[in-house]
Amino acid sequence: MPHTLKSSFLIAAATSGSGKTTLTMGLLRALCRRGLSVQPFKCGPDYIDPKYHALASGRESVNLDTWLASPEHVRHLYGHYTQGVDVAVTEGVMGLFDGFGRSEGSSAHVARLLDIPVVLVVSGRSVAYSVAPLIYGFRHFDTSIRIAGVIFNQVASATHASILRMACEDVGVPCLGYLPRMKDIELPSRHLGLTLDAEYRLGDLADRIAVALEEHVDIDRLLGLTQGDAFDSSCLSDVQPMAVTFPVRRIAVARDEAFNFTYRYNLERLSRSGELCYFSPLTDTSLPDADFVYLPGGYPEFFLPTLASNVSMLESIRQYAASGGRILAECGGMMYLSRQIHGMDGVDYPMADVLPIQATMEGMRLHLGYRAVTCGNRIYRGHEFHYSDISPLDESLKSIAVQTDARGHEVPTALYRRGNVIAGYTHLYWGETNLFDLFDESLT
């Protein structure tokens, strides 16, 4: 029978840097403190903000991305993961209408697709009544987007807040409250590993923001203005296993502080094809017994001495690959399979030496963007995000795929294959495709 959410909304912003993630963390924690079950979502391909969501809510976040997935699949994800919960909170990406093609792929696109209202976050820094035309524009630019209300961030004082509230009243948009300027609530740099100490500090941060929101934001009114719609669970298809042409009884997935960039639905699909077991390249001494190994991305560059000193695990990985074991390695996982990584400290750290490549953090610069990966007659979609660079050490190692960006322009990102090992920088999404088809011998 249909399940009705008590509330569902998307937290968007006028611009990047307005405080979406900070506000989302605080609201997630505040709602949980009220005893509500809350399911977080994240617009776009980001792997880091969902970790903040999980720390604040105790529930793993789900990516909603209209480049990685079809509209039907995005709706399926939303319906699937909101079953049985009280509130669904989706954090937007960049500004409300910023997408990979005008507003295509934007937060507005997702809000329209799912028919959920938007709570607009507006920074009050260095502005007062002039927010009125800005809010008016966001309300009227696209009337298919329902702006449920505005929450201001970085508000200097109660007087400042009253002026901002008047601006909302004059353009007919509810002001739900504000978050005052507070010391010590900045999120860490996005290029930092979530160590156990960082997780503890972020949990404490979520509590501090939640307390401030309870004081300055009308959360009851927010929930009232964003009452959820019904999803008919009978129309939701179950998660389907992927067809395989080789035995897949157990699937070993790297998961620790160094390797943790995964999409929730990817892992759920894997779990329908074989039993998932997790291992740590940092602390475990060998691979678990498995028919398939998944090395996702993460932050190996912050743990190079530990990874390099765990010689028994490196040897276990090397032997598994040499014996024909199938491995998918993405980004940081690919770096782990390299001969060595030149660290940020200028030291070369030996790795598993499964692939004749070397990685370097020297001259760090960000590479990112959507990727369409064409391999034979199959097309996968994914996202590239890294600061490192890779150099092949063997001229015979060529890419088995052609990759293009969201506009169809070819990019030099490679997808390597050596034996049954496939590795590349792109984080693949296989919610609607069959990952195991990549290992078809005809594609080599």
Give me the percent of the chain exceeding a pLDDT of 70.
Answer: 93
Residue that is written with structure tokens 């972020």 in the block? 202
Q: State mean pLDDT over 46-75.
A: 95
pLDDT at 193: 52
- The angle formed by the CA atoms of residues 20, 23 and 26, to the nearest 5 degrees, is 145
Higher-pLDDT residue of 29 and 235 is 29
How distant, in Å, are the alpha carbons of 390, 391, 413 from that of 356?
10, 9, 16
* pLDDT at residue 293 greater than cutoff 90: yes
Query: Tens digits of per-residue pLDDT, 304-358?
Result: 999 999 999 999 999 999 999 999 999 999 999 999 999 999 999 999 999 999 9
Picking from 36-45, 96-105, 281-290, which range would have the lowest pLDDT averaged per residue? 96-105
Query: Tens digits of per-residue pLDDT, 120-167?
Result: 999 999 999 999 999 999 999 999 999 999 999 999 999 999 999 999
Three-state secondary structure string covering the chain = CCEECCEEEEEEECCCCCCHHHHHHHHHHHHHHCCCCEEEEEECCCCCHHHHHHHHHCCCCEEECCCCCCHHHHHHHHHHHHCCCCEEEEECCCCCCCCCECCECCHHHHHHHHCCCEEEEEECCCCCCCHHHHHHHHHHHCCCCCEEEEEEEEECCHHHHHHHHHHHHHHCCCEEEEEECCCCCCCCCCCCCCCHHHHHHHHHHHHHHHHHHHHHECHHHHHHHCCCCEECHHHCCCCCCCCCCCCCCEEEEECCCCEEECCHHHHHHHHHHCEEEEECCCCCCCCCCCCEEEECEECHHHCHHHHHHCHHHHHHHHHHHHCCCEEEEECHHHHHCCCEEECCCCCEEECCCCCCEEEECCCCCCEEEEEEEEECCEEEEEEEEECCEEEECCCCCCECCEEECCCCCEECCCEEEECCEEEECCEEECCCCCHHHHHCHHHC
What token pair was written down for 72? 């039907």
Mean residue pLDDT across the chain: 93
pLDDT at 414: 97
pLDDT at 220: 97
- The angle formed by the CA atoms of residues 114, 62 and 417, to the nearest 5 degrees, is 120
pLDDT at 258: 96
Q: State mean pLDDT over 422-442.
A: 94
Q: State mean pLDDT over 79-94.
A: 95
Which domains does the chain show, CATH number per domain?
3-235 (3.40.50.300), 250-443 (3.40.50.880)
* Marked catalytic residue, from 32, 168, 175, 331: 331
Higher-pLDDT residue of 244 and 7 is 7
pLDDT at 1: 45
pLDDT at 196: 44
Other C-beta atoms lying within 10 Å of the C-beta of residue 189: 6
Q: State mean pLDDT over 259-273.
A: 96
Other C-beta atoms lying within 10 Å of the C-beta of residue 384: 22
For 101-124, b where at least 16 C-beta lie within 10 A, e where not — what string? eebebbbbbbbbebebbbbbbbbb
pLDDT at 351: 98
Note if 331 is an active site residue: yes
* pLDDT at residue 234 greater than cutoff 80: no
Q: State mean pLDDT over 289-294.
A: 97
* pLDDT at residue 443 greater than cutoff 70: no
* pLDDT at residue 197 greater than cutoff 90: no
pLDDT at 235: 53
- Using pLDDT thresholds of 50, 70 and 90, give the confidence band for residue 237: low
